[in-house]
Structure 1
Amino acid sequence: MSEYDEDETPFDAYRERVDRPLTRLFMAYGTDRLGWFSAGMIANFVARMASLVAPVVLGTAIDAVFPPPERAGEFSLPVVPDALLPTQQLPQFWFSVTAIAVAFVVTAAFTWIYGVTANLFAHGVMHTVRVDSFRKMQRLDQTFFDDKQTGEVMAVLNNDTQNLERFLDDALMNSLRLIVMVLGIAGVLFYLNWQLALITLVAVPVMVGFTIWFMKVIEPRYVRQRSAVARLNTRLENSIAGMELTKTTANEDYEVGRVSDASMNLFQRTMDVLKLSYLYRPGMELLAGISFAATFLVGGLWLTTGTAPGPLTGTLSVGDFVVFLMLTQRIVDPLAEVSNIVDQYENAKASSERIFGLMDIPVAIQDRADSVSLPDPDGRVEYDGVSFAYEDVLADADHQAETVIDDVSFTAEAGEMVALVGPTGAGKSTMLKLLLRLYDVDEGEIRVDGHDLRDVKLEDLRKATGYVGQETFLFDGTIADNIRYGSQDASMDAVREAARAAEAHEFIQGLEAGYETRVGERGVKLSGGQRQRIAIARTVLQDPPILVLDEATSAVDTETELAIQRSIERLTEDRTTLAIAHRLSTIRDADTILVLEEGEVVERGDHEGLLEAGGRYAALWNVQAGQIDEPAELSDD
């Protein structure tokens, strides 16, 4: 059996190993912004405490200011010394008005301060987390992208970071608001009448227990919902990227069905969360409502009968009863807000697990501590007993990954060309990717100027190696930007010279905006041949001593192929070149030609020598020359 279940990925496995993700989030990203966080907390505390002033002052005024003088009560406020309070009714009235007005101003001012500082903290963390996640993604091995869906990565970089921002901005600060309001209101109520306060707050322990149950039950539902979001994103991204194939094969309904299934899965996972949430929220509001009703019942009987009901003792003033009703109502909102806090907490916890799951994926291909530089390489390339198999992280424990390259050895001296030919699946492209160290060899060594690639700084190796593939990728931007990619400081004159060398200048000049023409996402506004020539111009500008060509003239018409081939011939002059040939005529002048089958070199030599040998290369050459029928085992199509 596989180590992972049907819907699980290696990404999920790392996520499950993350311990206390929100604590880790705060320690890793919150401590640098502790000033903004503390300012927000303090402002939130002041604003919430100031919001309690108005009902307390109003209750005191009802008892002491508004009755006739002979029935006026004592004008006293919590934490305010009596010596500072006026003793006459009119001054007491104006004092009450002023205190209430100041309380509202303080509440508004500190709420604004809290909003600004909390958002600076939360959005700052979100920005840093997103950039760090993207930076880690850039460093991940190519094997991660071989079996990792784009939608899942996008979910981490976008949705998950936004979930963290909402938690840090809303849930964290609302948690403080809840604590301050509950404790502050409880303190005031106990100060006014501890017996009635016990009745008002009797439901709080039940609410706490209800919340603990809710958090325990809803957490796995949030995890499944986040996975469903990632899978839907992946399905949408794949469907949009493959739109041309979908249309040309009349599979629109099939794709709609697949997206519908992924969307339905998300719908069901979301409803699992919402059903529990809609049980929790009304439950909390019901318990808070029971507290309010109990307060109104007991306090109302106390006032209407003039005696304390049941085992209660003492007296209750109208002002105190009004304060109880107002503050009990005030406590309903923050307690009901617990459901949103829990929602955001669980969502943020699942998201932070996914973020740190990405962060914790080990990177195998990276610089060693003692890696050497390649400041000015000559370009001598050696493959010495190289073997390689793609890692299958979802394979059964007893399953051995299939070998793609098997004990391959050859040398390309500086300035020489080595060409690789053979059927599809023979391992040609993998051979070239090993030189770029997108993967590390399992056995043997690849050396550049005598240095094992694993001992060379990655940046130096890749800057010294120019790559032109059969599937040219262009970023959405101008033609000039795409030619400069990797040589961003190049002048416009250098860009034009590179384009001329790639035989791209003429068609670029024919475009309405010339070099400032935007190519669209993946270069969709240009033809395949135009994209290929821009890629060659990009490599010309890079001016690398080692050149890798992966069927750079495939899938273009004959005229375009000739133009591309001329530019490639100029590009390969005095450079060490490793090339995969779609058409053998393009590599007949190579110093060495290797014929690969099933990862092994079955023939080697130059063009004339291989033709004289009359082996597999000769058979393939004769097929392309139109002399015999093509043998199936050598088909490249």
Structure 2
Amino acid sequence: MSFETDGDPFEDVREESGNAMYRLFTEYGRDYLPQFVVGVVASVFARLLDLVPPVMLGYAIDTILRNNGAFLGFLPASIRGGWTTSEQVLVAAGIVAGSFVLGAGFHWLRNWGWNSFSQHVQHAVRTDTYEKMQRLNMEFFAEKQTGEMMSVLSNDVNRLERFLNDGLNSALRLAVMVVGVAVVLVSYNWRLALLTMLPVPVIALFTYWFIKTIQPKYADVRTSVGKLNSRLENNLGGIQVIKTSNTEEFEDERVEDVSRSYFDANWGAITVRIKFFPALRVIAGLGFVLTFLVGAYWVAVGAPFGVGGALTIGGFVVFIQLSQQFIWPMAQFGQIINMYQRARASSERVFGLMDQPSRIAQDPNATELDVDDGEVVYDGVTFGYDDGETIIEDVSFDVAGGETLALVGPTGAGKSTVLKLLLRMYDPDSGEIRIDGRDIAGVTLPSLRQAIGYVSQDTFLFYGTVAENIRYGTFDADHEDVVAAAKAAEAHEFIQNLPDGYETMVGERGVKLSGGQRQRIDIARAVLKDPDIMVLDEATSDVDTETEMLIQRSLDELTEDRTTFAIAHRLSTIKDADTILVLEDGQVVERGTHEDLLAEDGLYANLWGVQAGEIEELPDEFVERASRRAATVEDADATDD
């Protein structure tokens, strides 16, 4: 038996999703273009103002302290001519102070723009991804692990926000700073500026190597963290089984295995990253050292190597200060690339989930379903999953409005699948399902599912109060309606005995309630919905015999004037149904009333005999077929694991 998880569950789709980062900007960024523009413009001005202090310092040294040119010579002489040296220093200081104040304003505006842009995009991507996921057919959820989807909705979307805020912001600041510094340095001394920019192509080549190396490693990290989340989510959800099975050590090993896989993938990326950034700083530092040595020689001795040109002390100071603002940001470029590669891996997973194909699609011309009689017809319905295995084949029957149809049969016969097709959890491969003569494929999904009340054998309660869970799906119901529904489901009495009555918190997945209590709340939820058609899929499977009798009495009243479908392994609960369908291997093999089917002495009669304890009287053929079916189910379970 294998417990290994698959690879990246979205890999096959994300390869067809195109450039995920381009889609991120075109499909979501354009809606928040004003915030983006504010961030860009403010970043440009904020960075340009950051250049003012070092430039003004060098200019003041040359014009004020060394009298090399007129201070602010571009101003009319009538304005600057009467300034003393002290006044010139104060003016220079005022310009620097003004640049700091104005720069602070632009920095604030920059942060507002980028944060607003990234937060809005993050919110839109997360909600759209969840909306898309929620509308996928049930087959998708049967194949994918919850932890993987949680990883996409949480970790991957958050990583996109960090890149849109910090990464893009830093990239633009870097670009403005590099261009601005380059222009200033070239204007002072283009020969020395070329030397200062000498490390740029080396940094570019080194960064290209980093991108090609780190990209597949980050994809592995995102896949491994999804597996880790899936394992942890699965184990936490099954903690009771782990404890009762005494398998803590086994689960310790499984978590250690997936954690080790994440460690290996993450460490592989880390080893590349921790080599890249120090090396980048060394390259950038060499550029600064060259600028310092050549610039100092130029000022003290003269132009080296006979290249010609002058360099003032103020110009040298500007070179020393701005070269750091030029070279060190180039070293930070690797951090930006690092963030981009992480965001790219995450965006591919996000759009991989968004682009998952769904077999359930609503006809754009679909109209609302208005149930009148409640007649339901299955006409030659065949269905199988994507693996090609046929689950139900050529199933046909009809249920008149107000009648009750029961489906029985061995495990794996396709009973639940038949009813999930009615709710369009899946669509049939062939055939039609009609309600009051209308093909359900031609009606809107909300109106179809609003007309059907579904009580599953796998009861799920949301974290919240008892009342909130009963009201779920019928949110406008008042408290009196909630109580009435609880009474109909034989739940009112036990609810009153809870610590806070209807306001008692049920805990995650209803863990604070027993299985029977959870199931009665689920029934109350369906009762409150007051549907035209009722589907009961093992609705009393988790209750004791006495409670089952009480619930069955209420259900009989509830379903009296409704078209009702019921699945039950306890045949005593459906023996009064108007029609009983017996399924085996996805086909209808018998149909009729309880008495008719007993008289036929076929599969139904044998199943009835099993529950009546008449084991020794069962025919050998039935026992052999039951043994083969059990083996098939076990093999299927082993394959799934």
Residue of structure 1 in register with 2:606 after alignment: 619
Superposed CA deviations along residues 115-146 of structure 1, whole A, max 9, x for unmatched, are 11110110000001101111111111111111
Per the TM alignment, residue 537 of structure 1 is displaced from its structure 2 partner at its CA by 0.7
SS in 2 for 1:596: strand
Residue of structure 2 in register with 1:249 after alignment: 245
Q: What letter is aligned with 1:358?
A: L
Per the TM alignment, residue 567 of structure 1 is displaced from its structure 2 partner at its CA by 2.4
- 1:276-295 superposed matches below 5 A: 276-295=272-291
Change (3 A) 1:469 1:198: same
| Deviation larger for 508-517 or 290-299 | 508-517
Q: 2:513 aligns with which of 526, 530, 547?
A: 526
Residue of structure 2 in register with 1:475 after alignment: 462
- Between the aligned partners of 1:174 and 1:100, the Cα distance in structure 2 is 24
Paired residues of 1:75 and 1:92 also in contact (CA < 8 A): no
- 1:325-404 superposed matches below 5 A: 325-392=320-387, 401-404=388-391
Question: Quick check: 1:492 aligned with 2:479?
Answer: yes
| Deviation larger for 202-211 or 166-175 | 202-211
Residue of structure 2 in register with 1:56 after alignment: 55
Superposed CA deviations along residues 74-120 of structure 1, whole A, max 9, x for unmatched, are 24569x65767566422220111101111111222211111111101
- 1:200-219 superposed matches below 5 A: 200-219=196-215
Question: Quick check: 1:234 aligned with 2:230?
Answer: yes
Question: Quick check: 1:28 aligned with 2:31?
Answer: no
Q: 1:313 aligns with which of 280, 286, 308?
A: 308
Change (3 A) 1:295 1:9: closer
Per the TM alignment, residue 572 of structure 1 is displaced from its structure 2 partner at its CA by 1.4
Q: What letter is aligned with 1:341?
A: I
Per the TM alignment, residue 162 of structure 1 is displaced from its structure 2 partner at its CA by 0.8
- Between the aligned partners of 1:85 and 1:567, the Cα distance in structure 2 is 98
- 1:133-172 superposed matches below 5 A: 133-172=129-168
Paired residues of 1:18 and 1:356 also in contact (CA < 8 A): yes
SS in 1 for 2:413: coil
- Between the aligned partners of 1:410 and 1:41, the Cα distance in structure 2 is 65
- Between the aligned partners of 2:281 and 2:321, the Cα distance in structure 1 is 16
Per the TM alignment, residue 606 of structure 1 is displaced from its structure 2 partner at its CA by 0.4
Change (3 A) 1:425 1:376: closer
Q: What letter is aligned with 1:53?
A: V
Change (3 A) 1:369 1:428: same
SS in 2 for 1:467: strand
Residue of structure 2 in register with 1:189 after alignment: 185
Q: 1:431 aligns with which of 413, 418, 421?
A: 418
Residue of structure 1 in register with 2:634 after alignment: none
Change (3 A) 1:181 1:352: same
SS in 2 for 1:420: strand
- Between the aligned partners of 2:38 and 2:308, the Cα distance in structure 1 is 44
SS in 1 for 2:428: coil
Superposed CA deviations along residues 447-470 of structure 1, whole A, max 9, x for unmatched, are 111111211211111111111011
- Between the aligned partners of 1:208 and 1:606, the Cα distance in structure 2 is 80
Change (3 A) 1:370 1:605: same
- Between the aligned partners of 2:88 and 2:542, the Cα distance in structure 1 is 90
- Between the aligned partners of 1:21 and 1:617, the Cα distance in structure 2 is 55
Question: Quick check: 1:114 aligned with 2:110?
Answer: yes
Q: What letter is aligned with 1:385?
A: G
Residue of structure 1 in register with 2:588 after alignment: 601
Superposed CA deviations along residues 18-74 of structure 1, whole A, max 9, x for unmatched, are 21211211111111111111111111111111111111111122222234xxxx222
SS in 2 for 1:133: helix
Residue of structure 1 in register with 2:268 after alignment: 272
Paired residues of 1:60 and 1:75 also in contact (CA < 8 A): no
Q: What letter is aligned with 1:330?
A: Q
Residue of structure 1 in register with 2:633 after alignment: none
- Between the aligned partners of 1:197 and 1:264, the Cα distance in structure 2 is 49
Paired residues of 2:8 and 2:223 also in contact (CA < 8 A): no
Per the TM alignment, residue 366 of structure 1 is displaced from its structure 2 partner at its CA by 2.2
Per the TM alignment, residue 556 of structure 1 is displaced from its structure 2 partner at its CA by 2.3
- Between the aligned partners of 1:326 and 1:197, the Cα distance in structure 2 is 13
- Between the aligned partners of 2:615 and 2:210, the Cα distance in structure 1 is 74
Paired residues of 2:64 and 2:71 also in contact (CA < 8 A): no
Paired residues of 1:620 and 1:634 also in contact (CA < 8 A): no
SS in 1 for 2:521: helix
Paired residues of 1:221 and 1:273 also in contact (CA < 8 A): yes
| Deviation larger for 231-240 or 562-571 | 562-571
- Between the aligned partners of 1:35 and 1:283, the Cα distance in structure 2 is 39
Give 5+ residue unaligned stretches, structure 1: 393-400
Residue of structure 2 in register with 1:263 after alignment: 259
Residue of structure 2 in register with 1:11 after alignment: 10
| Deviation larger for 295-304 or 524-533 | 295-304
SS in 2 for 1:283: helix
- Between the aligned partners of 1:139 and 1:625, the Cα distance in structure 2 is 43
Q: What letter is aligned with 1:120?
A: S
SS in 2 for 1:441: coil
Per the TM alignment, residue 375 of structure 1 is displaced from its structure 2 partner at its CA by 2.2
Q: 2:95 aligns with which of 93, 99, 121?
A: 99
Per the TM alignment, residue 11 of structure 1 is displaced from its structure 2 partner at its CA by 2.1
Paired residues of 1:292 and 1:328 also in contact (CA < 8 A): yes
Paired residues of 2:189 and 2:309 also in contact (CA < 8 A): no
| Deviation larger for 340-349 or 361-370 | 361-370
- Between the aligned partners of 2:553 and 2:255, the Cα distance in structure 1 is 45
- 1:220-231 superposed matches below 5 A: 220-231=216-227
Identity of aligned residues (%): 52
Q: What letter is aligned with 1:246?
A: I
- Between the aligned partners of 1:527 and 1:108, the Cα distance in structure 2 is 60
Residue of structure 2 in register with 1:129 after alignment: 125
Question: Quick check: 1:542 aligned with 2:535?
Answer: no
Superposed CA deviations along residues 258-290 of structure 1, whole A, max 9, x for unmatched, are 111111111111122112212221122111101
Per the TM alignment, residue 575 of structure 1 is displaced from its structure 2 partner at its CA by 0.9
Change (3 A) 1:85 1:32: farther
Give 5+ residue unaligned stretches, structure 2: 631-641
Per the TM alignment, residue 7 of structure 1 is displaced from its structure 2 partner at its CA by 4.1
Q: What letter is aligned with 2:355?
A: D
Q: What letter is aligned with 1:149?
A: Q
Q: What letter is aligned with 2:36?
A: F
- Between the aligned partners of 1:613 and 1:459, the Cα distance in structure 2 is 41
After TM superposition, the score normalised by the length of structure 2 is 0.93
Question: Quick check: 1:448 aligned with 2:435?
Answer: yes
Residue of structure 1 in register with 2:636 after alignment: none
- Between the aligned partners of 2:597 and 2:113, the Cα distance in structure 1 is 74
Per the TM alignment, residue 249 of structure 1 is displaced from its structure 2 partner at its CA by 1.0
- Between the aligned partners of 2:49 and 2:372, the Cα distance in structure 1 is 70
Q: What letter is aligned with 1:231?
A: K
Paired residues of 1:553 and 1:582 also in contact (CA < 8 A): no
Change (3 A) 1:506 1:327: same
Per the TM alignment, residue 628 of structure 1 is displaced from its structure 2 partner at its CA by 2.9
CA RMSD of aligned residues (A): 1.9
SS in 2 for 1:518: coil
- Between the aligned partners of 2:358 and 2:380, the Cα distance in structure 1 is 25
Residue of structure 2 in register with 1:466 after alignment: 453
SS in 1 for 2:304: coil
Change (3 A) 1:137 1:556: same
- Between the aligned partners of 1:560 and 1:311, the Cα distance in structure 2 is 103
Q: What letter is aligned with 2:383?
A: F
